[in-house]
Structure 1
Amino acid sequence: MDTRPETFVQSVSGTRGYRTLWRWHFYAGLFVMPFLVILAITGSIYCFAPQIEPLLYSHQLVVAPQSAPRLGEDTLLAGARKGLPVGAIPITARISAQANRSTEFIFRMPDGRKASVYLNPYDGTLLGQLDPEHRFMQIDRMIHRKLLLGKPGELLMELVACWTLVMIGTGIALWWPRATLMPDLRLRGRPLWKSLHATLGIWIAAGALAFVVTGLPWTGSWGKHFKALATSAGLGSPRGHVPFRSTPPGQSATNSATANRHASSPGRDSMSGMTMDDMPLPQVPWAVGAVHVPNSPGVGAPHASPLPLDQIVAQMRAIGLTGGYDIVLPTSPEGVYTVSYFPANPKLERTMYIDQYSGALLKDIRYRDYGAISKAVSYSTSLHMGRYFGLANQLVCTALSLALATLAITGCVMWWKRRPSGSLGAPTRERTAPPMRAWKIALVALGVVFPLMGATVAAVWFADRFLFGRVVPSAPA
C-alpha cells in the first residue's frame, strides 16, 4: 500500500501546526467513529418514538375512539389490579387526553420488576402488559445513553461526546478556509472521499457542535455535577426545594422517623429524601431532576385516608391539565402525589406535589421558577430530542445524526485507504513542535471543564509522545 503523503496534504500543510492538528483529529475520530454511528442510529429512531411506538404496540396502546365517557381512573386502576399477583403495587399512572389511546398504569411487582398494564378507558377491557424497561424505545434510549452497559457505558458515552468536540474543532481548523462548499466529484479514490468528508464537515459543523453540547447536560457524571453547580449558583433547579418534614396522620414522631429510614429501602418508589431523578417516571424535566420530593404534611383527621386518584385527576383538569402527564402514586403514609408534565414546549413544563390526605398543593414548579441555565437546557433538550417544532424538528435532528454518521464512515474509509499494513496509520508528527498556544489553551480548558476527558487527553498525549508515530521535519512555513 502506498503510504506517501498525499499531494493535497503537501499543498496545504505549509502552516506550522497542521500535522499536530491532523494527528489529534485522527485520534479523536478513530475513537468516536463507531460510537457516532450508534448514536446516529439510536438517536434518529428515538426522535420518531411518537410515531413508532403505536405501530409496535398497537394492541396495547391504541383503542377505537368512542362517544361514551371514559371510566374514572380509580375504576380503571381496580381493573388493572385484576390478574396481577398479590403484592403488586401501583406506582405510576399515565394520564392521556388522546381519544385513541389506552390508559396505562405501572406496577412494581413482588419480585422487583416493573409491569405496565393497559386498559381500554371506555369499557375497562384489559389490553395486555409490557415491561417498561424492555420496550423497544427504552432499549434504544439506553443504548444511546449507556450502550446497555450501566455506569461504565454512561461514562464511555460521555467521553465520546467530549472527544467529538475535539474532532469537530480540529476538523474546522484543518479545513477552514481551505475547504470548498461543494465536493469535487471529478476526483477519484481517497481524494474524493476526502473532498466529501471535508465539505460535509463544514456544512454541519455548527449543528453538530450544538447537537453534542445539548446532550452533555444529561450525561451521568459531568451532567450531574453541572446540574449541582448550576443549582448552587441559583441558575439551575428552583431554590427552596428542601423536603417537608412532618408526621403523617395517626403516626408518632418516632414511628415517622422509622418510616423515613425505610424510605431508602429497595423497591420503594416515592418516599421522602428522593429526588425527581429517582422517581418511577419515564423522563422528567432536567431543571427539576435534583429537586427533593416532599412529604405529605398529614393535614386532616387523625386517621385520614388517602384521596382517590380520581380527585387528583379532577384537580389537574381544574387547572388546565387534561392529559399528557404522569402521576407517581404515594406508596407510603408520608408519600405525596407527584404530577410531572413534560410537554414539547418547555414553557409549559410543570411539576406538582399534592398532599395525599387533603389534596393541598404543596409545591408547583413551573418554567418561570427555573434558573437561567435550566431554562436554556430545557429548550436545548426539546430541540435535541426533536420535540419542539414537530416533524420538522425530527427531520432536522435525523439529518444531523445521519450526517455525523456519514462523517464517521467517510473518515474510516480515508483512514483505511492510507493505513500502512500492520500500523495504526497515525499522521506523522512535526519534528519541531509549533507553539499553537490557542490550541493548547482550548484543550486544557476542555480538560478542566470535563475532568474525565482531561484524564484521557493526558493519556493520549503520553501515548502519542512516547509510544506512537514517527517524527518528520516540519513543512516550511
Structure 2
Amino acid sequence: MTVLVDPENSTRPAPPDIASAANAPESRGWFRSFVLRLHFYAGILAGPFLLIAAVSGGIYAIAPQLEQAVYAKELHVPAVATPLPLSAQVKAAMDSAGGATPVTVRPAPGPEDTTRVLFADPSLGESEYRTVFVNPGTGEIRGDLTTYGSSGALPMRTWISNLHRSLNLGEPGRIYSELAASWLWVVALGGLVLWIDRIRRRRQTAPKKPRPAPGRARTVWLHGTTGTVMLAAFLFLSATGLTWSSHAGDNITVLRTSLGWLAPTVSTSLDGKPPAAAGDHASHTQAPAGAASDPAAYDTVQRIARADIITAPMVDIKPPAKAGTAWTVTESGREWPATASAVAIDPDAGKVTSRADFKDFGLAAKLTRWTIAAHMGLLFGLPNQLVLLAVAAGLSAMVVWGYVMWWKRRPTRGSAWAMGRPAPRGAFVRGHWAGVLAAMTAMLLVGMFLPLLGWSLLAFILLDTAIGEAKRRRRSSVPEAASDRSEALSR
C-alpha cells in the first residue's frame, strides 16, 4: 500500500510527482498560481464574513413582509375614503407626544396606511426617531415606536439591518461587513479566472489525465458554475455594499463629490444666505417653535408641494430646522420608478423657494439611488426580494462548497487528498519582476481606496511568503541532514 505524505509536514524527501508540483509556478505561470492561492485562502478566511453577510442579507430581503405582519396595527387601518386634514392628524400626534414639535411628517401614502409623525428624542441613537402612528380617518393613535433612517425601519427590521451591517456591535462591528464587501469581488473575479483557466486546461489535458473523483468533481463544478452565473450579482452587492462601509465608504463619497455625482439638494435659506452647517446630532435637534409648531402650516405646505413637482404618494414634510429657513418636502418612495424630487417652501409667502427635480438629476445620482434601493430589495418589490434571496442562497452555498473543497484538499498525513493542495506558498514573489511590480502597484492603488482590503491583502502576502520561505529552507535542510547521517554510518 502506498501512503502519500504532505511534503510540508514531512521530514522525508518528497516523491517526484509532489516535488514537481512544488515547481508548478514556473511551469503554469506565477500569476495563476498566486490567484489560485489567494482565491483559496481568501475564501477560507473571508468565508465566515461572507456567510454571515449572505444569511443576514437574505433575511433582510424579506424584512418588509415580516414588518408588515408584525406591525400591522401600527401600519394599517381600514380603508379611509376621506382623510382628516393633515393638520388634525399632526395635532393628534403632538398631543400624544406631550406637545413636542415634529421633525418630520410622512402622510399616509395609501388609503389603508397610517400617517407617521416623527419626533426627536435625545435618548435614542443616531438617525433614530420616536414615531407616532395616526389613523388618517379618525385621528386615533395606532402606535408609538422607534424608527430608523429615511426608510422608516421599525424595531425588528432595524435589528436585522444592524445584524447585516455590524452584527449589532455598533461601529466596531462594521469592520466585518466592510471586509466581506471588500473581498467578495476579489474572490468572485479570482474564481472566474480560475474557472476559465480550468476549462481551458481540462480541454488540453483531458486525454492525458484521469478525471478527479466524482464526489469532489461535482462539488468543484457546482462551486464554479454557481459563481460564474451569479458573478454580476456578487459584483453588484460588493460595489453597493461598500457605499455603506466606514473606511471605503468615505473614499467613495469623496470620489462622488469630486466627480459631481451627488444628488442636488434644495436651498432652505429664506434670506439669500446659506444656512449654517448642521452638527453631528442635527437629526435629533428639536424643531423651533413658531410656524413649525402650528399644525395648520402642514396643510399649507402639503398643498403647495402637491401643486408643484411633488407627485409621489410617499413624501416627507420637514419643518424648518432653524428660524429663517424654509420647509422641505421630499419624495421618499423607493419603488420603481423611484424619484427624489424635492422643494423648499415658504408657507408665509405661499410659494416654492427652491426645487430639485429628479428628472434633472445626473445619471450617476439617479443610478446611486436606484442601485441602493435594489440592494435593499425595495426597487422592484417582490421580484427584487426573490432575486436577493436567490443570490444570498447562492453565496451561502458557494461558501459551504468552498469549505467542502478545502476539507477534501487539506494536507492530511497519509491521505491521498494531500495531492490536491493549492499552489505552493510564495508564488507571488517568484514571478517576473515586471509582473510582480505591476501587480503590487495595482494592489497599492486598490488598497488606498479600500483600506481594509489593502491591509488584509498585504498581511496575506507577507505571512504566506514568510511561511513558504521557512518551509522551503526546512525542506532543503532535510537532504543535507540525511546525507550527514549516511556519511557517519558509513564510517
Question: TM-score, normalising length from structure 1?
Answer: 0.76
Q: Structure 1 residues 126, 83: CA separation in 2 closer, same or farther (over 3 Å shift)?
A: same
Q: Secondary structure at the match of 1:116?
A: strand
Is the contact between residue 214 and residue 381 of structure 1 (CA under 8 Å) also seen in structure 2? Answer: yes
Partner residue in 2 for 1:60: 74
Partner residue in 1 for 2:254: 228
Partner residue in 1 for 2:479: none
Q: Secondary structure at the match of 1:122?
A: coil
Distance in 2 of aligned mates of 1:2 and 1:404: 34
Is the contact between residue 118 and residue 126 of structure 1 (CA under 8 Å) also seen in structure 2? Answer: yes
Is the contact between residue 121 and residue 284 of structure 2 (CA under 8 Å) also seen in structure 1? Answer: no
2:117 to 101, 105, 126: 105
Q: How does 1:311-326 map to 2 (within 5 A)?
A: 311-319=300-308, 320-321=310-311, 323-326=313-316
After TM superposition, give the deviation of residue 92 of structure 1 in Å. 1.6
Q: How does 1:393-472 map to 2 (within 5 A)?
A: 393-420=384-411, 428-429=424-425, 433-435=430-432, 436=435, 440=440, 442-467=442-467, 470-471=471-472
Partner residue in 2 for 1:333: 323
Distance in 1 of aligned mates of 2:34 and 2:439: 10
- CA offsets, 1:10-41, max 9 Å, x none? 7x986223432122112321232122222222
**What is the root-mean-square deviation in Å for CA atoms of aligned residues?**
4.1
After TM superposition, give the deviation of residue 324 of structure 1 in Å. 1.1
Q: Structure 1 residues 370, 201: CA separation in 2 closer, same or farther (over 3 Å shift)?
A: same
After TM superposition, give the deviation of residue 63 of structure 1 in Å. 0.9
- CA offsets, 1:80-109, max 9 Å, x none? 1334346x4421211232111111112223
Distance in 1 of aligned mates of 2:146 and 2:294: 31
Q: Secondary structure at the match of 2:28?
A: coil
1:77 aligns with 2:103: no
Q: How does 1:285-304 map to 2 (within 5 A)?
A: none
Distance in 2 of aligned mates of 1:60 and 1:22: 53
Q: Structure 1 residues 443, 22: CA separation in 2 closer, same or farther (over 3 Å shift)?
A: same
Partner residue in 2 for 1:39: 53
What residue identity is the alignment partner of 1:403? Answer: G
- CA offsets, 1:32-67, max 9 Å, x none? 212222222232233334433211101111111133
What residue identity is the alignment partner of 1:225? Answer: N
Partner residue in 2 for 1:384: 375
After TM superposition, give the deviation of residue 200 of structure 1 in Å. 1.3
Is the contact between residue 270 and residue 335 of structure 1 (CA under 8 Å) also seen in structure 2? Answer: no
Partner residue in 2 for 1:279: none
Is the contact between residue 217 and residue 377 of structure 1 (CA under 8 Å) also seen in structure 2? Answer: no
Q: Secondary structure at the match of 1:348?
A: coil
Is the contact between residue 247 and residue 334 of structure 1 (CA under 8 Å) also seen in structure 2? Answer: no
Distance in 2 of aligned mates of 1:331 and 1:39: 37
Structure 1 window deviating more from structure 2 (100-109 vs 352-361): it is 352-361
- CA offsets, 1:325-362, max 9 Å, x none? 22223353244323221332366321332235434323
Q: Structure 1 residues 266, 454: CA separation in 2 closer, same or farther (over 3 Å shift)?
A: closer
Structure 1 window deviating more from structure 2 (224-233 vs 396-405): it is 224-233
Is the contact between residue 80 and residue 117 of structure 1 (CA under 8 Å) also seen in structure 2? Answer: yes
1:193 to 219, 233, 236: 219
Distance in 1 of aligned mates of 2:336 and 2:285: 26
Percent of paired sites with the same residue? 28
Distance in 2 of aligned mates of 1:429 and 1:265: 47
Q: Secondary structure at the match of 2:198?
A: coil
Q: Secondary structure at the match of 2:69?
A: helix
Partner residue in 2 for 1:19: 33
Q: Secondary structure at the match of 2:139?
A: coil
Q: Structure 1 residues 66, 354: CA separation in 2 closer, same or farther (over 3 Å shift)?
A: closer
Q: Structure 1 residues 349, 244: CA separation in 2 closer, same or farther (over 3 Å shift)?
A: same
Distance in 2 of aligned mates of 1:453 and 1:108: 37
Q: Secondary structure at the match of 1:22?
A: helix
What residue identity is the alignment partner of 2:299? Answer: D
Q: Secondary structure at the match of 1:429?
A: coil
What residue identity is the alignment partner of 2:187? Answer: M
After TM superposition, give the deviation of residue 403 of structure 1 in Å. 0.8
After TM superposition, give the deviation of residue 165 of structure 1 in Å. 1.6
Q: How does 1:254-293 map to 2 (within 5 A)?
A: 264=279, 266=281, 269=284
Is the contact between residue 197 and residue 407 of structure 1 (CA under 8 Å) also seen in structure 2? Answer: yes
- CA offsets, 1:418-448, max 9 Å, x none? 33579xx975325672335575554344224
After TM superposition, give the deviation of residue 166 of structure 1 in Å. 1.4
Partner residue in 2 for 1:126: 141
Distance in 2 of aligned mates of 1:356 and 1:30: 60
Q: Secondary structure at the match of 1:462?
A: helix
Q: Structure 1 residues 362, 401: CA separation in 2 closer, same or farther (over 3 Å shift)?
A: farther
After TM superposition, give the deviation of residue 402 of structure 1 in Å. 1.6
Partner residue in 2 for 1:244: 269
Rg larger in 1 or in 2? 2
Partner residue in 2 for 1:286: none
Distance in 2 of aligned mates of 1:271 and 1:130: 18
Partner residue in 2 for 1:178: 198
What residue identity is the alignment partner of 2:223? Answer: H
Q: Structure 1 residues 215, 385: CA separation in 2 closer, same or farther (over 3 Å shift)?
A: same
Is the contact between residue 89 and residue 134 of structure 2 (CA under 8 Å) also seen in structure 1? Answer: yes
Is the contact between residue 94 and residue 103 of structure 1 (CA under 8 Å) also seen in structure 2? Answer: yes
Is the contact between residue 271 and residue 334 of structure 1 (CA under 8 Å) also seen in structure 2? Answer: no
Structure 2 unmatched ranges of 5 or more: 8-16, 149-153, 201-210, 414-420, 476-491
Q: Structure 1 residues 221, 186: CA separation in 2 closer, same or farther (over 3 Å shift)?
A: closer
- CA offsets, 1:287-346, max 9 Å, x none? xxxxxxxx9xx9x9xxx9896111122223323525212222335324432322133236
Distance in 2 of aligned mates of 1:363 and 1:270: 23
After TM superposition, give the deviation of residue 112 of structure 1 in Å. 4.8
Q: Structure 1 residues 103, 186: CA separation in 2 closer, same or farther (over 3 Å shift)?
A: farther
What residue identity is the alignment partner of 1:326? Answer: D
Number of residue pairs matched? 428
Structure 1 unmatched ranges of 5 or more: 249-255, 273-294
Q: Structure 1 residues 468, 356: CA separation in 2 closer, same or farther (over 3 Å shift)?
A: farther
Partner residue in 1 for 2:130: 115
After TM superposition, give the deviation of residue 4 of structure 1 in Å. 5.2
After TM superposition, give the deviation of residue 213 of structure 1 in Å. 1.7
Distance in 2 of aligned mates of 1:220 and 1:177: 35
- CA offsets, 1:193-232, max 9 Å, x none? 2232122112212221122123323333322332233223
Q: Structure 1 residues 307, 72: CA separation in 2 closer, same or farther (over 3 Å shift)?
A: closer
Is the contact between residue 425 and residue 467 of structure 2 (CA under 8 Å) also seen in structure 1? Answer: no
